[in-house]
Structure 1
């Protein structure tokens, strides 16, 4: 079985605001390392291409839904490098954002641990960005 890790960040913003921001793939570049997002219909519906630190990254997103589910898969070339299950959960006047990553078969344990450190950093940037809006 592959490793899975869940990160949780509390954000002092209504869940609806957070979800509406995150469900738009154009906003990903404002809080992560990827840049220059653009739709990539050749990769399938709800797929976007971004310029990443190691070249073009294709991200496949779940479509907008009423459950605040934001799952995605990332690939570089033909290799799936990251898969995650994201939920925005109402928590009083704010929200809890959970991000569960599942290690992919060709990703080493060290690489997976490093990705999770980067993800936590990205989620803290997202928290700051959302709370300042």
Structure 2
């Protein structure tokens, strides 16, 4: 039997900073606590090169796509239960600025309210990223 395709929402923000600047900041896992409260209050690299984060979901392991020239910031979050959550993220050039697009998926068994909270958290995180970069804090 074929699995059902998950419902997705694409959450985006336009940032008035060059794509190279946005990608470099967002691709550095140590910056996550500064802008991604929905994922990480604190994050550290362990001796195996894995990133361990204290998140609203408990301790999680975060695996990041290798740095690349295409703006791919995908990451997989492994929850304490062992469940793996794939998070597609892109940074693309928009004239002299950048668009950041995060795909949020409604997973099997997730309530509509939980999905709405995830979408709101991602939107808030992207707005924080925009603020940090446009205000020159990052």
TM bucket (normalised to shorter chain) is 0.7 to 0.9
Q: Of 56, 79, 83, which aligns to 2:83?
A: 79
Corresponding residue for 2:42?
Answer: 36
Q: Is the 8 A contact 1:4 1:102 kept in 2?
A: yes
Q: Of 56, 59, 62, which aligns to 1:59?
A: 62
What is the TM-score with the length of structure 1 in the denominator?
0.87
Corresponding residue for 1:50?
Answer: 53
Q: For the residues of structure 2 that align with 1:106 and 1:63, how far apart are their CA atoms?
A: 31
Q: For the residues of structure 2 that align with 1:41 and 1:61, how far apart are their CA atoms?
A: 16
Q: Deviations over 1:25-48 (max 9, x none)?
A: 101111122122111465xx6x31
Q: Of 2, 5, 11, which aligns to 2:9?
A: 5
What is the TM-score with the length of structure 2 in the denominator?
0.85
Q: Is the 8 A contact 2:104 2:118 kept in 1?
A: no
Corresponding residue for 1:101?
Answer: 104
Moved over 2 A (4+): 102-110
Please report the RMSD computed on the Cα atoms of aligned residues, expressed in angstroms.
1.6
Q: Is the 8 A contact 1:2 1:103 kept in 2?
A: yes
Q: For the residues of structure 2 that align with 1:71 and 1:54, how far apart are their CA atoms?
A: 19
